[in-house]
Amino acid sequence: MQDQLREAARQAQTAIAACQTNNDILNARAQFLGKKSLVNSLYSKLKDLPDAEKPAFGQLINDLRSELEKLLAQREKELKEQQRLQQDASKAQDLSLPGIMPGRGSLHPLTVVRREIEDIFMAMGFEIAEGPDIEDEFHNFDALNTPQDHPSRNLADTFYLENGLLLRTQTSTVQVRTMESFAPPIRIISPGRCYRNDKPDPSHSPVFHQVEALAVDKHLSMADLKDTLQNFARLMFGAGMKSRIRPHFFPFTEPSAEMDISCVSCGGHGCRICKNSGWLELGGAGMVDPAVLKTLGIDPEIWSGFALGMGIERIAMLKYNIPDMRILFENDVRALRQFSGESL
Ligand code: DAH
């Protein structure tokens, strides 16, 4: 009897461990604990035992029953867990699911606008020239006919370095470097970073960008400057754009002018943005002062030139209707995304 019991236990343990499906578990339960099971048949054999042995053997059968119940429940749990893991694994490899799109960058609006300006001037025959951000006083001021007592040379306006150099306050420095190195005819634009000791506000930033244009040739006049400005205004802001120049003063041009374009918001009728004038200021310009040409070894009796300079931030702000320059430098991607006209 004891042997039968032990044999029943061994068989059941092996069979339960071998169960692979829920159905196997059901079958094993029926086989080992059901009505016709071996364990059940052992109960009927109790009556053949001497009375004294009955309780102990009965207890053994009961123990075996509950042991098998426990094993079945445990195996059932194991199988469920296995199934769950298998399902998860097959989910991870579900090739029919949509992919995860990587975030895509876009060009900064200042880059978009700078490239557009470059394209427009290149189409008019200008080349792109570059110069250093760290300059000396000669290239930033002296060669540009700027006297020692000019306010822009003030410590309060210009960032001077300890070694006597400075952070350029304008890209007009590249005019000087180009005329130093190349003989006319010259047609260049020089986009780049400039620095001034300004507090950031909606229209100022201590770091900003300018683009300078310079043409030196025989017989250049204000008409060429006006034509270049008008072409630029139309290509940058749209066919209906008008432009004009007004008298002004810069140390390195004579005569000097300020350039305006018709208001991008109202088309010239007058609105809040153009303070009802119909015009928006674009930058400075003029005929290169003969003194500048002479300093750089170019004979003003033979050659004449025009130059202009404008802020790239200002153009971006007009083009994209950006109310505050600081938006361009805070680099909040939610803001930048709205103005990026071109992806990488
Ligand atoms: N450099 C001037 C500025 O930063 C802008 C400028 C004015 C550039 C007249 C020019 C020019 O080339 O002819 O305010």
CA distance 71 to 74: 5
What is the atom index within ligand 1 of the atom nearest the CA of 144?
A: 1
Question: Would you state the pLDDT for residue 342?
Answer: 52
Bridging pattern class, strands 127-128 and 186-195: parallel
- For 202, the token pair is 């909606």
The pLDDT score that the predictor gives to residue 36 is: 82
In CATH terms, the superfamily for domain 109-336 is: Bira Bifunctional Protein; Domain 2 (3.30.930.10)
pLDDT at position 128, please?
98
CA of 250 to the centre of ligand 1 (A): 7
**Is there a contact between 321 and 237 (Cβ–Cβ < 8 Å)?**
no
pTM of full prediction above 0.75 = no
Locate the domains of the chain by residue range.
2-91, 109-336
Pocket test of ligand 1: the residue of 168, 169, 170, 310 to mutate, having most ligand atoms within 8 Å of its CB, is 170
Where residue 46 falls (left for φ over 0; alpha for ψ -120 to 50; beta otherwise) is alpha
Q: How far is the CA of 221 from the centre of ligand 1 (A)?
A: 17
Which tokens go with 100? 């995860």
Residues with CB under 6 A from ligand 1: 170, 172, 212, 250, 253, 283-286, 307-309
Instruction: Please report where in the chains the tokens 């300020």 appear, as a residue.
Output: 258
Q: Which residue's CA is the nearest one to ligand 1's atom 11?
A: 285
Question: Residue 256: what are its φ and ψ, rounded to 5°?
Answer: -110, 160
pLDDT reported for residue 218:
98
Do 288 and 253 form a contact (C-beta atoms < 8 A)? yes
Ligand 1 atom closest to 253 (CA) = 13
133-159 residue pLDDT tens: 999 999 999 999 999 999 999 888 999
C-alpha span between 140 and 138 (Å, rounded): 6
CA distance 157 to 206: 10
172 CA: nearest ligand 1 atom: 1
Q: Whose CA is nearest to atom 13 of ligand 1?
A: 285
Nearest to 340 by CA among 103, 101, 116, 110: 110
Q: What string of pLDDT tens digits covers the 344 residues of the chain?
A: 678 778 878 888 898 989 998 888 888 888 888 888 877 887 888 888 888 888 888 888 888 888 889 999 999 999 999 888 888 887 777 788 888 888 778 899 999 999 999 999 999 999 999 999 999 999 999 999 999 999 999 888 999 999 999 999 999 999 999 999 999 999 999 999 999 999 999 999 999 999 999 999 999 999 999 999 999 999 999 999 999 999 999 999 999 999 999 999 898 999 988 999 999 999 999 999 999 999 999 999 999 999 999 999 999 999 998 999 999 999 898 888 887 655 44
Centroid of ligand 1 to alpha carbon of 210 (angstroms)? 9
pLDDT at 344: 45
